[in-house]
Chains A and B, each alone.
Chain A
Amino acid sequence: MVQERTLPEFPTALASITREEGLVVYEDMILGRFFEDKCAEMYYRGKMFGFVHLYNGQEAVSSGVIKAMRSDDYVCSTYRDHVHALSAGVPARNVMAELFGKATGCSKGRGGSMHLFSAEHNLLGGFAFVAEGIPVATGAAFQTKYRREALGDETADQVTACFFGDGAANNGQFFECLNMAALWKLPILFVVENNKWAIGMAHERATSQPEIYKKASVFGMPGFEVDGMDVLAVRSIAQEAVARARAGEGPTLIEALTYRFRGHSLADPDEMRSKAEKEVWFSRDPIKKFAAYLTEQNLVQHDELLDIERRIQSVIDDAVQFAQSSAEPDPSELYRYIFAED
């Protein structure tokens, strides 16, 4: 087994999170976890099809970053996008309905698991090809700068968070966009979710410099590694990066060290990763860690967490009910949405 990289320490004393914020973040993490578990169940029951990539284990990254942002900020994801969409505020109903291919899905049943979109929630996608979302996110960040500087719109201070994997960080679009974002000081967070694997390709076997955050330095960009299983650590780094971006001080590269608790997709037998490795990472479950923090700090009572879990379970059940009972897309609308006019 490859030597595990030491996770950077984050002194909990530095964490400043209120009870209300803690509840929001915890609920978001539970929503992500329960939603994905339900997806696995529905997939195996033949309710959804195609490649479905679950996010279990990585919740601290989505919740830590997106819940440190405003609702008018932009979020850009990959094919592993369900939970980013949920954190960005897309209702579970519409995400689930999309996975069921229904007309009520956030992409009207045209997208599927890897193509979740919501203009209303500034979710830019849902990109099925590795790394192709990075330029699009960079474009959204450029738009904010353009609106502010070329159009003189002082309310244009939105920040874009762009999520992608360790595998994507070996693609040219990653380097090209880091260059442009740093060059033009774009308000963007490049968030690498380093879960150690790109399907069956171990990160160390794919890159000459496994410490991805260090790649920021050649672009003159701040780069940080963070324990991606610790939502408070992620949140803290994200808050700083968001503040910098909003203040016009440019982009940040954040490498969150994390792990997916399931196979690459629901079609993946997950035979590459050793049991020992999995056990190390399962013991770092970000939800358990945060629950322990909230109760130890007396911010929240254990019962309240159970209440959240019960409530979210009913949100998920409702989402499935909604998806199941929603109408299929109308076949007469097969050609709709090709062009802007319809």
Chain B
Amino acid sequence: MAETLLFNALRAAIDEEMARDPSVFVLGEDVGHYGGSYKVTKDLYTKYGELRVLDTPIAENSFTGLAVGAAMTGLRPIIEGMNMGFLLLAFNQIANNAGMLRYTSGGNYKIPLVIRGPGGVGRQLGAEHSQRLEAYFQGVPGLKMVACSTPYNAKGLLKAAIRDDNPVIFFEHVLLYNLKETLPDDEYVLPLDKAETVRKGKDVTILTYSRMRHHVTNAAKTLVQEGYDPEIIDLISLKPLDFDTIGESIRKTHRVIIVEECMKTGGIGAELVASINDRFFDELDAPVIRLASQDIPTPYNGTLESLTIVQPAQIVEAVQNIVPLRV
């Protein structure tokens, strides 16, 4: 397959799954005729019809509840959040019904539902369009959360999310849609619950996900030149966290840096620190370092915005600080 842009990798995943299983359908604002705000569903409605690529009114809580009801009764909906931030309006349906209904129903119903869309801090989109909802949703039992970061994993993970019988919140990042990668010609599906080791190393474990993975790999170029050997893990699954992969790495490096785009308070990193303390405290040679966004609404101004999120230089510095100098 030729070089594929990330948004087209997502589109291919949806297309393949819709062709494979007629109970799969897409719904959301402007997913049909318009093709999605980031063109992930472009022209799919001409192939599958307007019922399977359903343009909804701007009514997030209600169309999310509609998808829950459709999932309970046997369909496999994929909701596109035009921007993930808008799903704050659907918080009730996502938390109470997508997340908890299987449990409160004592297993009467399953809810095979994917909620996907663009999130994260983009380029001067302002506070409301720059949200990291994973921090808010991580406390909801029954939900799975996955963050893609490359065209390859975007495609394989989305296909897996669509096939999963549980509600999966699938995070895409507004600044990653145009990443390019050559994808395999053959069909592939990736596991939803496995972290991806991006670079093997022995000095320090860097846990990251989504766009910050690319900041970390950038920082790693500098670090490697300086003689450091970091291990980079893309978490992929934000809920549940893959503690097998995380633990294996910590047992090797004994040092951890978390690089995330969430705000520091109550973010994925906060949960990671607590869980690492619970599980691997004896393995640690240094306190876990957490690099996260500032606890502020993301400012519009470009300079302020870049001060809000973690930059590669800070990652370099953190590694320099935590890894003892070898001469």
Residues of A within 8 A of B (CB): 74, 76, 105-111, 115, 117-120, 124-129, 132, 134-147, 149-151, 172-173, 176-177, 179-180, 183, 336-342
Contacts and interface: CB of A to CB of B under 8 A. Distances in A.
Contacts of A106: 106, 108
Contacts of A108: 106-107
Contacts of B52: 146, 150
A227 to B, nearest CB: 30
B92 A118 contact: no
B70 to A, nearest CB: 4
The 5 closest A-B pairs by CB, nearest first: A139-B69, A135-B65, A108-B106, A340-B165, A117-B105
A141 B69 CA distance: 8
Contacts of A125: 101, 105
A338 B25 contact: no
B49 A146 contact: no
Interface stretch (B33-41, B54-62, B122-130): B54-62
Contacts of B142: 338-339
Nearest to A108: B106
Contacts, number: 156
A254 B272 CA distance: 51
B235 interface: no
B106 A132 contact: no
Given A151-B23, A339-B142, 19 more contacts: A106-B106, A115-B104, A117-B104, A124-B69, A124-B73, A125-B101, A129-B92, A135-B66, A136-B72, A139-B68, A139-B69, A139-B70, A139-B73, A140-B73, A142-B69, A146-B51, A146-B52, A179-B59, A183-B57
A126 to B, nearest CB: 7
B298 interface: no
Contacts of A172: 59, 61-62
B32 interface: no
Interface residues of B, number: 45
Interface of B: 22-23, 25, 49, 51-52, 56-57, 59, 61-75, 92-93, 96-97, 101-112, 141-142, 164-166
A135 B71 CA distance: 12
B51 A139 contact: no
Contacts of B65: 132, 134-136, 138-139, 173, 177
B104 A107 contact: yes
Contacts of A134: 62, 65
A142 B109 contact: no
A124 B104 contact: no
A338 B103 contact: yes
Given A119-B109, A139-B65, A338-B142, A146 B75 contact: yes
Nearest to B27: A142
Contact of A135 (B63, B75, B107, B165): B63
A144 to B, nearest CB: 8
Given A124-B72, A132-B97, A151-B22, A142 B66 contact: yes
Contacts of A145: 51
A149 B51 contact: yes
Contacts of A76: 69
A179 B75 CA distance: 22
Contacts of A118: 108
A172 to B, nearest CB: 7
Contacts of B103: 110, 337-338
A129 B61 contact: no
A107 B164 CA distance: 23
Given A107-B108, A119-B109, A180-B56, A132 B92 contact: yes
